[in-house]
Amino acid sequence: MNSWPGKLLRVDLTRGTWAVEDIDPQLARDYIGGRGLGTKILYDEVDPAVDPLGPDNKLILLTGPLTATGAPASARYMAITKSPLTGAIASSNSGGYFPAELRYAGFNGIILEGASDKPVALWIKDGEVELKPADDLWGKTSEETEDAIRDQIEDDWEAKATRIACIGPAGENMARLACIINDTHRAAGRSGVGAVMGSKKLKAIVVRGTQGVQTADFPEFKAAVKTAMQKLASGPVTSQGLPTYGTAILVNIINECGILPTHNFQKGMFAGASKISGESIAENIMTRNKGCFACSIACARMTVIEEGKYAGHGEGPEYETVELMGADCGIDDLAPIAKANYLCNFYGLDSISAACTVATAMELYEKGYIPREDAGMDLSFGNPDALVGLIEQMGKGEGLGKIAMHGSWFLANHYGHTELSMDVKKQEIPAYDPRGVQGMGLTYATSNRGGCHVRGYTIANEVLGVHEKLDPLVTEGKAATVKVFQDLTALVDSSGLCLFVTLTPGFGFDDMQAMIKGATGFDYTVHEVIVASERIWNLEKLFNMKAGFTRADDTLPKRLLEEPLTEGGPKGQVCRLHEMLPEYYELRGWDENGVPKPELLERLGLQA
Amino acid sequence: MKKILVDYKKCTGCRQCETACSASHFDGEVNPEKSRIRVYIDEENSLFHPVISGPFTNAHCTSKNIVIMDGVEYDECVVCRASCPGRPWFFEPGTKIALKCDFCGDPPDPQCVAICAHGALQLIDDLGVSRIRKQKKKTA
């Protein structure tokens, strides 16, 4: 029997009750799953003006029709909610083993509503559900939480096979940068989804499943998977670059392009770049590379810092983290960066936003806006103890961390200098300076969840030339590129696959359509899945509009629009967003204020 | 005779072999619990070890060896191929029937080997134990 659309678990944390529901097949067809279906559920059930940390917000965890099916990189789930960081829609993605285990346990997703008044943990085993008190887990880090939960399971093999998603102390403290950690090292990282879980006093979700996942037409599905896997195996990024050096292979490449954010985006090149590169990670701190469930790319790095005050072990750092904790904070030593990254995973902080926030704090401090007595330490750029120290404070909600744990905008706002926060819609911008890669500027400005690179990763074409090589300094044609990347990403995120499959030459909507069709049994055409991906993007947009977002929010920090870069290829450049945004709106079928036109909404079936 | 060469040092812990095995033996059902190959995962020590199911035994061992891999001591169960009452691997959930690797395909084309992207599993001609050892030395 086909496992999609399958079942959803709806948990009312206020009452401590739950119900099992069938996913409406028509909704599943129109919104694919994962990010798309989660957005639809959130849009239908939650007022976009709701207090994100109040009991009326819902947290929706959804896999996609390809999750756990053995399709390449089919390890992912999405956490969808209203973000406490941005106030916009949040949809954060994570892999590892947890999402697949959830499907094997009989549920394709979980809707969490209400709020418990005491800490609880949600236990799921093969369709059976239990809410257990979790007072003893409250206050524990992600690693300690996993250990404590496994200790409660009598059979060692069973304990080992159990998969856990949880929040750390940051989520408990409702830090707006809190993430949901699964499998200790994987994070549904961005937009503060962990704070929403914390507001519901849900510490952990414990999953074990022995049921299988059945695709609708296995021969058809298998053929589509084979084609996709062959493409992955022949793409240099997915078969060599990422397996060997991980995402941090980008450090040297991006530095050479002059777009490596340095000292809180004051510069685009960093002298110590090679010391924090993927090559350096592989040579100095990596023990193994690792794959998420059913993923041949195996980009994860298992790393260890053997000795010294930064000793520790875990996974990562990934490119964004190593770049932002490194160059953006002026630090060229892997040990403190790896340590700070481990701490982010243990406390449950989004390492991208946390790193950007430290960089902002450093600039605020150097400019004299954060007084020494508030900082409690020397927050100068390049001080590794400041990076590790402030991240620790943010994780624990102590000292300056009490403010910084809410992100760079809240920190900069506290000290009256929001112009030094490098964010879009209050969410921190990742590690590509859009002044030297124009399409990314448009991606950041128009991302429905605020500053984010994985909503339309045009670096693939503008820098890496995966599908075609584009000039990064040109704005012409970028609106169309951004739109296609955004739509394809919406589809991938909804399917349960990892975005990295799109870093394969020739991988596109047709590959996705073939796999999704085989898995779901819906006779999708390529046209239908493209329309579905547009529908998803536009529904997110509608949610944000109802939450109060306007054209004025589709912008970048003043620094990136007005202060030119000073060195390298993009010397003298700013991000020329104004040249791209109107064209983008037009291509999307939106009016000049970025509002979807009635005929578009009708075409997508989104009319009121 | 064909053999499967398992090189655990190349395994990335992705468990794609588990999905391929179960799907090919159970009419498209992807279910690691029904797979005749399981990956032992020890994240703390960065160890992944694929284990392919062998014969069924109806009792626990009365004594066991300790296996050292990458300098870490492991219980022999970690690499043992038997389906036995001491470990939940290789028993079909529900029926509890013991599952044994059948070198699927004719000629043998084990689906776990076919899907492994990192060379942790390879189908080789039977070289004899000594030949394998020699080859390893040559490449080392």
**B33-56 confidence digits (pLDDT tens):** 999 999 999 988 989 999 999 999
Q: Percentage of chain A surpassing pLDDT 90? A: 98
Of A598, A138, A561, B138, whose CA–CA distance to A606 is shortest? Answer: A598
| Res B133 pLDDT > 90 | no
Chain B residues with CB-CB distance to A144 below 8 A = none
Tally A–B CB contacts below 8 A.
91
- Two structure tokens written together for A79: 């956490």
| Res B140 pLDDT > 60 | no
Contact A81, A59 (CB under 8 A): yes
Q: How many alpha carbons fall within 13 Å on the CB side of residue A554?
A: 21
Please name the residue that has the structure tokens 């829609």.
Answer: A89
Please name the residue that has the structure tokens 């169960």.
Answer: B77
The model's confidence at residue A22, banded by pLDDT at 50, 70 and 90, is very high
B55 inside 8 A of chain A by CB: no
Tell me, what's the pLDDT at A234? Answer: 92
- Two structure tokens written together for A449: 């969840």
* Contact: B30, A160; criterion CB under 8 Å: no
Residues A281-339: pLDDT tens digits? 999 999 999 999 999 999 999 999 999 999 999 999 999 999 999 999 999 999 999 99
**Least CB-CB distance to B23: which of A211, A218, A313?**
A218
Smallest Cα distance from B132 to chain A, Å: 24
Average the pLDDT over B21-31 and give the result.
96
* Contact: B87, A157; criterion CB under 8 Å: yes
Chain A residues with CB-CB distance to B27 below 8 A = 218
| Res A103 pLDDT > 70 | yes
Best to test chain A binding among B8, B9, B16 (most A CBs inside 10 Å): B16
Best to test chain A binding among B7, B9, B12, B121 (most A CBs inside 10 Å): B12
Complete DSSP assignment for A319-366 = HHHHHHHTGGGT---HHHHHHHHHHHHHHTB-HHHHHHHHHHHHHHHH
Average the pLDDT over A511-539 and give the result.
97
Cβ of B72: how many Cβ atoms within 10 Å?
Answer: 12
DSSP reduced 3-state for A133: strand
- CATH 3.60.9.10 location in chain A: 7-208
φ/ψ (deg, to 5) at A21? -125, 150
Tell me, what's the pLDDT at A286? Answer: 94
| Rama region for A548: left / alpha / beta (φ>0; ψ in -120 to 50; rest) | left
Q: CATH class for domain A7-208?
A: alpha beta
Please name the residue that has the structure tokens 């799907």.
Answer: B23
**Least CB-CB distance to A70: which of B19, B87, B117?**
B19
Q: CATH class for domain A438-604?
A: mainly alpha
* Contact: B41, A160; criterion CB under 8 Å: yes
Residues B77-91: pLDDT tens digits? 999 999 999 899 999
Smallest Cα distance from A303 to chain B, Å: 9
Locate the chain B residue with the closest alpha carbon to A289. Answer: B12
Smallest Cα distance from B10 to chain A, Å: 9
B117 inside 8 A of chain A by CB: yes
- Two structure tokens written together for A164: 């856990």
Locate the chain A residue with the closest alpha carbon to B86. Answer: A157
- CATH 1.10.599.10 location in chain A: 438-604
- CATH 1.10.569.10 location in chain A: 242-421
How distant, in Å, are the alpha carbons of A275, A309, A327, A347, A436 from that of A260?
14, 28, 7, 27, 9
Residues A408-433: pLDDT tens digits? 999 999 999 999 999 999 999 999 99
Residues A125-150: pLDDT tens digits? 999 999 999 999 999 999 999 999 99
Complete DSSP assignment for A99-121 = HHHHHHTT-SEEEEES--SS-EE
What does the angle CA A193 – CA A71 – CA A160 come to, to the nearest 5 degrees? 60
Tell me, what's the pLDDT at A271? Answer: 97
Q: How far apart are the first and last CA of chain A?
A: 35
Q: Percentage of chain A surpassing pLDDT 70? A: 100
Smallest Cα distance from A572 to chain B, Å: 44
The model's confidence at residue B136, banded by pLDDT at 50, 70 and 90, is low
Considering the segment(s) A242-421 as one domain, its CATH architecture is Orthogonal Bundle (1.10)
* Contact: B16, A287; criterion CB under 8 Å: no
* Contact: A288, B34; criterion CB under 8 Å: no
**Least CB-CB distance to B30: which of A70, A161, A219?**
A70
Locate the chain A residue with the closest alpha carbon to B27. Answer: A218
Tell me, what's the pLDDT at B20? Answer: 97
B26 inside 8 A of chain A by CB: yes
Chain B residues with CB-CB distance to A232 below 8 A = 117
Please name the residue that has the structure tokens 């994962």.
Answer: A34
Residues A41-99: pLDDT tens digits? 999 999 999 999 999 999 999 999 999 999 999 999 999 999 999 999 999 999 999 99
B23 inside 8 A of chain A by CB: yes
- The overall average pLDDT reported for chain A is 97
Of A222, A279, A218, whose CA–CA distance to A250 is shortest? Answer: A279
B46 inside 8 A of chain A by CB: yes
Tell me, what's the pLDDT at B126? Answer: 79
Smallest Cα distance from B19 to chain A, Å: 6
Smallest Cα distance from B60 to chain A, Å: 15
- Burial (0-12, 13-18, 19+ Cβ within 10 Å), A118: exposed
Chain A interface with B: residues with Cβ < 8 Å: 68-70, 97, 104, 155, 157-158, 160-161, 184-185, 210-215, 218-219, 221-222, 229, 232-233, 239, 243, 287-296, 298, 302, 313
Best to test chain B binding among A158, A184, A207, A211 (most B CBs inside 10 Å): A211
**Least CB-CB distance to B88: which of A157, A222, A239?**
A157
Locate the chain A residue with the closest alpha carbon to B31. Answer: A212
Smallest Cα distance from A443 to chain B, Å: 31
The model's confidence at residue B138, banded by pLDDT at 50, 70 and 90, is low
